[in-house]
């Protein structure tokens, strides 16, 4: 299978006062196109930092990241933004909807950034798919946590991304709502063939993905395929 994300020898350090803090060390792995992939590990293991690097939100100190066939180190910030707009979707633990935009406007933004003609029509269809057809003109503050995450889901899939990064997508939801969101996420992945990279504490959720990367202390502990096909 072709690789959509290829990480080699990744290292990331932060300076804290006079000290250098190594967050990630010698990380290498790859994700196949259309695969569901989870990254698990205890708090402080470097999961979120790794996600930020993989999506081109930050730059490593050393190592290389190849996303959708592009070496991220050769791109500047705006070029990386363009790459994200065309190929990447995001879901965050805190939903990260734009508070001043309605549900429909939030979903439309990635399409509008691409200059898509039918941004509104497509966004309405996506919101309908996540069961929010009657909440399209509501602002995030007028929606429940589950509804906000479903809007985030619709937004993440709006630009038909090749790869979707989800950071603790159910972390702020109750079990029942969380399950519904995961179901939706996996369904959309199946329908659109989108690669799914999920960061989670939840081992049950991780076990529903095809491959699990375990991190500890900024290093890869294991990288194993699961029984999921």
Partner 1 sequence: MNKNTTWLFKMAWRDAKASRVRLLLFMASIILGIAAVVSIQLFSANLKDNIKLQSKALMGADYIIDSKQEPTERAQALIDSLQPDAKEINFVSMIAFPKNGGTKLVKVRGLGGDFPFYGTIDTQPSAAADTYQDKGGALVDATLMLQFDVKPGDSIKVGAVTLPILGALKAIPGSTAISTSVAPPIVIPYEYIEQTDLLQFGSRKEYQFFYKTDEPIDLEQFEDIIDPQLKAEEADLDTHTSTSERLGRRYDNVGKFLNLAAFIALLLGCIGIASSVHIYIKEKLKAIAVLKCMGASRMQSFLIFLIQIAGIGIVGGLIGSLIGIGLQELFPYILQDFLPFSVEISISAQPILIGIFLGLFMSVLFALLPLLRTWYVSPLEVLRVDEKGAQEPRKLRYVVIGAVLLFLFLFSFWLLNDALFALGFMFATLIAFAALAGVATLFIKGIRKYFPKRWGFTARQSLLNLFRPNNQTVVLVVAIGLGTCLISTLYFTKDILLAKTEVDQSTDNANIIILDVQSEQQEAIENRITENDLSIVNSIPIVTTRIHKIKGRLANELRQDTTKQMRNWVLNHEFRSTYRETMIDSEELIAGEWTSHATPNAPIVISISDNLAEDGIDIGDNITFNVQGVLMETTVGSIRKVDWRQLQPNFNIVFPAGALEQAPQFRVISTYVPDEAASAALQRDLVAEFPNVSIIDLRQVYTIVEDILDKVSWVINFMAFFSITTGIIVLIGSVRTSKYQRIKESVLLRTLGAKNGQILKISAFEYLFLGLLGSLVGVLLALISSLALALFLFKEPFTPSFIPFLVFLPGITVLVLAIGLSNIQTVIRSSPLEVLRREG
Given the rule CB under 8 A, which residues bind partner 1?
48, 51-52, 55, 57-58, 77-78, 81-86, 88, 90, 92, 96-101, 105, 109-110, 112-115, 139-141, 155, 159, 167
- Residues contacting residue 111 through CB under 8 Å, at least 6 positions apart: 118, 119, 122, 123, 158, 159
Least distance between partner 1 and beta carbon 83 (Å): 8
In the complex with partner 1, the residue whose CB is nearer, 88 or 208, is: 88
In the complex with partner 1, the residue whose CB is nearer, 2 or 115, is: 115
End-to-end CA distance of the chain: 14
Least distance between partner 1 and beta carbon 203 (Å): 22
Strand order in the sheet with 219-225: 88-91, 163-167, 195-200, 36-40, 211-216, 219-225
- Quote the CA–CA distance of 118 and 206 in Å, as a whole number: 35
**218 torsion bin: left (phi>0), alpha (psi -120 to 50), beta (else):** left
Chain center to CA of 46: 15
Least distance between partner 1 and beta carbon 142 (Å): 8
In the complex with partner 1, the residue whose CB is nearer, 92 or 208, is: 92
Least distance between partner 1 and beta carbon 11 (Å): 17
CA torsion 220→1→157→67, rounded to 10°? 60
In the complex with partner 1, the residue whose CB is nearer, 108 or 209, is: 108
In the complex with partner 1, the residue whose CB is nearer, 34 or 46, is: 46
SS (H, E, C) 86-103: HHEEEECCCCCCCCCCCH
In the complex with partner 1, the residue whose CB is nearer, 50 or 220, is: 50
- Quote the CA–CA distance of 14 and 11 in Å, as a whole number: 10
Least distance between partner 1 and beta carbon 98 (Å): 5
Least distance between partner 1 and beta carbon 229 (Å): 31
């Amino acid at each position: 299978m072709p690789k959509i994300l290829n990480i080699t020898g990744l290292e990331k350090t932060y300076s804290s006062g006079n000290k250098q803090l190594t967050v990630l060390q010698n990380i290498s792995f790859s994700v196949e196109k259309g695969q569901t992939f989870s990254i698990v590990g205890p708090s402080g293991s470097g999961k979120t930092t790794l996600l930020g690097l993989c999506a081109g939100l930050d730059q490593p100190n050393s190592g290389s990241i190849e996303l959708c066939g592009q070496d991220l180190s050769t791109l500047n910030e705006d070029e990386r933004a363009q790459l994200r707009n065309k190929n990447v979707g995001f879901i965050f633990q805190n939903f990260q909807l734009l508070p001043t935009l309605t549900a429909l406007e939030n979903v439309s933004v990635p399409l509008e950034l691409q200059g898509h003609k039918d941004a509104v029509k497509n966004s309405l269809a996506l919101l309908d798919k996540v069961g929010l057809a009657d909440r399209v003109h509501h602002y995030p503050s007028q929606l429940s946590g589950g509804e906000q995450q479903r809007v985030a889901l619709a937004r993440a899939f709006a630009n038909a991304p090749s790869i979707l990064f989800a950071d603790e997508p159910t972390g702020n939801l109750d079990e029942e709502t969380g399950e519904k969101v995961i179901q939706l996420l996996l369904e959309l992945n199946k329908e659109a063939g989108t690669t799914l990279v999920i960061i989670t504490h939840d081992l049950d959720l991780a076990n529903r993905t095809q491959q699990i990367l375990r991190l500890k202390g900024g290093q890869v502990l294991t990288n194993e395929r699961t029984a999921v096909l």
